[in-house]
Amino acid sequence: MSAVSEAAPAICESHYHKKPEHDYLKLFLQSRQARGVSPSTLEFYKERLVRFGAGVNYFFDRVSRAKIEQHLNSIPPNGRGLGTRHAEYRALRAFYNWLAVEYEVDNPMRNIRAPILSKVILPSLTREQVESLIGAVESARDKAIIALFADSGLRLSELVSIKASDINWQDRTIPRIMGKGRKEALAPFGELSEGYLRAWLAEYLSPNGSYIWGVNARGIQIMLRRLQERTGLPCNPHTFRRTFAVLLRKAGVDCLTIRDLGRWESVSMVERYTRSFGFSYAMRFYKAPLG
């Protein structure tokens, strides 16, 4: 039998007895990284696959469908549990789809249905609340960050990668945003954000070709967390992204257009984000049947 390459181990009986599951996990993560997956998504996969692997007595290529279902069903369905169960399902599906293609093994995820997500109304901010958050910070940089998050629906990874040369002031767009999956896309912004952004760039002379904030993603998260503690308002990139979708929906923009403006993969996520708008809009016409 020929020697098996360390970089791409083939699944066979001799390999099965020599290689632990984390070899496959490492190769899977390397394959996702090569496709441009963000560091946060890589951590998402790693955290869940390591947790799953720690609870089974099999190599990853020998896990049965029953074992996966047992693992998913062990996650409580109440509270945030169902979301966590769905996250575990997505990570396992991605891994075993990759494993089946790369090493031609049976895919135990093939006929396992995704857990049904509970249709909770996710939090978002009103325009007044966003303006309140902008007013609660003194730094021109922080004002520009908050305004762009809400005005453009930027993901954190998209925002931190902005360079001064990327900004098209005439059209008020950032044309070289690298979105999910490292796909190049446009991000729009409005007049208010332009003012804050110009004020910050006039103050901060970033080195030529470098990012404009002078702080990394972790620094932005810390700033937002402290702001949330001071104001009591939800203050994180995901909430701002939902706020972007809800405010556009309230302005009469349809979900398909919001999907394109916000660089979402599908319209279903926009519909999920804007569910609160549908209820509040319907309430405008509500008349109590019993008076």
The answer on pLDDT for 58 being more than 60 is yes
Q: What is the pLDDT of residues 102-156, one digit of tens each?
A: 988 889 998 898 887 655 566 889 999 999 999 999 999 999 999 999 999 999 9
Q: What is the pLDDT of residues 86-103, one digit of tens each?
A: 888 999 999 999 999 998
According to the 3-state scheme, what is the secondary structure of 77-119? CCCCHHHHHHHHHHHHHHHHHHHHHHHCCCCCCCCCCCCCCCC
Q: What is the pLDDT of residues 199-225, one digit of tens each?
A: 999 998 777 778 999 999 999 999 999
The answer on pLDDT for 15 being more than 80 is no
Euclidean distance between CA atoms 210 and 149, whole angstroms: 20
Euclidean distance between CA atoms 94 and 112, whole angstroms: 13
Which domains can be identified in the chain, with CATH numbers?
13-103 (1.10.150), 127-283 (1.10.443.10)
3-class DSSP state of 197? helix
The answer on pLDDT for 34 being more than 50 is yes
pTM (predicted TM-score): 0.62
Ranges of beta strands (E only) in the chain are 173-178, 184-188
| CA 43 vs CA 34, 37, 38, 212: distances in Å | 15, 10, 9, 26
Instruction: Note whether 240 and 149 are within 8 A (CB).
Output: yes
Mean pLDDT, the chain, integer = 82
Q: What is the pLDDT of residues 234-291, one digit of tens each?
A: 999 999 999 999 999 988 899 999 999 998 888 888 887 787 666 666 566 566 677 5
